Amino acid sequence: MACGEFSLIARYFDRVRTSRLDVETGIGDDCALLNIPEKQTLAISTDTLVCGRHFLPDIDPADLAYKALAVNVSDLAAMGADPAWLTLALTLPEVDEPWLEAFSDALFEQLNYYDMQLIGGDTTAGPLSMTLAIHGYVPAGRALKRSGAKPGDWIYVTGTPGDSAAGLAILQDRLTVNDTDDAAYLVKRHLRPTPRILHGQALRERASSAIDLSDGLISDLGHILKASGVGARVDLDLFPLSEQLLRHVEPEQALRWALSGGEDYELCFTVPELNRGTLDVALAHLGAKFTCIGQIMPESEGLKFVKDGAPVTLDWKGYDHFG
C-alpha cells in the first residue's frame, strides 16, 4: 500500500513516547511551541548526514538512527547542555516501510533514553540524507565554550579516540580483525558512539573550554586554540589508546587514527590547575576514563607534539567534509 508524506509521518514519527511538559505544541502544526525553562540559555545544533559521505549505504537503519541522534547530542555535551527537543528532515529515495520502522523504532528508543521529544521536521524524496536540529538548554552563563582556554590549563580527552576510525576500516574491509569480540567492539564504537552528556554537565563548573571530537583531535583541538587565542603542547606518550585497537594495528597507525580519524564523539576539554583536583570526584563515577594529554601554551607556541620528550612533526590532518 502506498504511503504518502503525511501518512508516513503519522505512522512512523508522530508517536510521543516522551511527552515533555515544556512542549506546548509538537508535531501536527505549522511550528512547534516550546517553553524555555527560567534562567536557562537555549542551545541549538544542526547536523546533516549524507549517504556515502557520513554513513555507508548498507548501514542498518537502527544503527543509523542511533548515530544520527548521538552526533547531535554530542554537540550539546560539549557545551554542558541538557538535551530536550529534536527536529528531523529526512530525504528518502523510496518509501521502504521495514526500513522506516527499524529507523523510527531506534530513534524513539534513544529519544526516550535522553528524555527528548521529536517536535517536528519534514520528509521528501531524493538521495538518502537527513538533517537533525537538536535543542537543549544550559544554566545561563555556565555553558562550556571553545574560547575559554588559558595558558597553563591542562588538556584532557575522554575515552579512547581512534576506535571509531578502526571500526570504519573494518566495515570497509581495510582492516582485518580476527578476534570477533575486538572487531565487534571497534565497529560498535563507530556505529554507536556514546555522547558524553553527563561529563559535559559535570565540567560546567570545572573546565575552561570544551569541544567534541568529530573530526579528529588535531582539527578539533585546533578549534579551541583558534577560538581561545592560545597554543598547546600534546604529549603523544600520554594519549589513551584502547587495548582492542592496539592488539590489531601498529602504535603509529593507532595514534594516526586517534589524532585524525574523527567520529569518536569523545570530549576534549581544558581545566585550570586550580580545578584539577576536583576532576576525579566529578567524573570518576560516569564510566568513561579521562586522560590528561598536554597543556595549553601561549599562542606563539602554536600546536606542538612531543614523544619521548622530543618534538615531533606530524603531517596528519583532521577529517575534511569537502576533502
Which residues are annotated binding-site positions for substrate?
54, 263, 319
Residue 109: which H helix or E strand, with range?
A: helix 97-113
Grid coordinates belonging to 143: 555553558
Strands 230-235 and 290-298, bridge-based pairing: antiparallel
Interacting residues of 59 by C-beta distance below 8 A, sequence separation 6+ = 191
CB 293 within 8 A of CB 235: yes
CA atoms within 13 A on the CB side of 21: 1
Strand partners for 27: 29
Contact indicator for 164, 55 with CB cutoff of 8 Å: no
- DSSP annotation of 51: B
Cα separations in angstroms, 92 against 27, 106, 131 = 20, 17, 12
Contact 258, 234 (CB under 8 A): no
Residue pair 204/139 in contact by the 8 Å Cβ criterion: yes
Beta carbons of 110 and 18 less than 8 angstroms apart: no
What is the chain's alpha carbon radius of gyration, rounded to the nearest angstrom?
20
By CB atoms closer than 10 A (0-12, 13-18, 19+), residue 299 is middle
Contact indicator for 122, 6 with CB cutoff of 8 Å: no
Annotated binding-site ranges for ATP: 121-122, 146, 214
**Binding residue ranges:** 30, 45-47, 54, 75, 121-122, 146, 212, 214-215, 263, 319
Binding residues for Mg(2+): 30, 45-47, 75, 122, 212, 215
